[in-house]
A = this chain, B = another copy of it.
Amino acid sequence: MKVSSAGLLVILAHCASTHTSEAFSIITTSKNHATGATALRSTAEPQAKTEFNLNEYIMAMQPDITKALEETCVSLDPPMTDLISESMRYSLMAGGKRIRPVLCLAACEMFGGSKEAAIPTAAALEMIHTMSLIHDDLPSMDNDDLRRGKPTNHVVYGEDIAILAGDAMLSTSFEVVAKQTPRDLVDAERILDVIGRLGKSVGAKGLAGGQVMDLICEGKGNDVTIDDLRWIHTHKTAALLDVAVASGAILGGATPEEVKACEIFALNIGLAFQVADDILDVTQSTEELGKTAAKDLEADKTTYPKLLGLEGARAEAERLVVVAKEAMAPFGDRAVPLLALADYIIDRKN
Contact = CB atoms under 8 A, between A and B. Distances in A.
A15 interface: no
Given A196-B178, A199-B174, A199-B176, A208 B164 contact: yes
Given A78-B231, A161-B215, A167 B168 contact: no
Given A135-B164, A204-B84, A172 B188 contact: no
A321 interface: no
B140 A209 contact: no
Given A78-B227, A208-B84, A170 B170 contact: yes
B175 A200 contact: yes
A204 B92 CA distance: 14
A179 B17 CA distance: 40
A73 B94 CA distance: 35
A141 interface: yes
B175 A199 contact: yes
A293 interface: no
A13 to B, nearest CB: 34
A204 B138 contact: no
A76 B204 contact: yes
B175 A163 contact: no
Given A176-B199, A199-B174, A203-B172, A212 B84 contact: yes
B76 A167 contact: no
Contacts of A174: 174, 195-196, 198-199
8 contacts: A76-B205, A81-B231, A132-B167, A140-B163, A164-B212, A167-B202, A167-B207, A172-B204
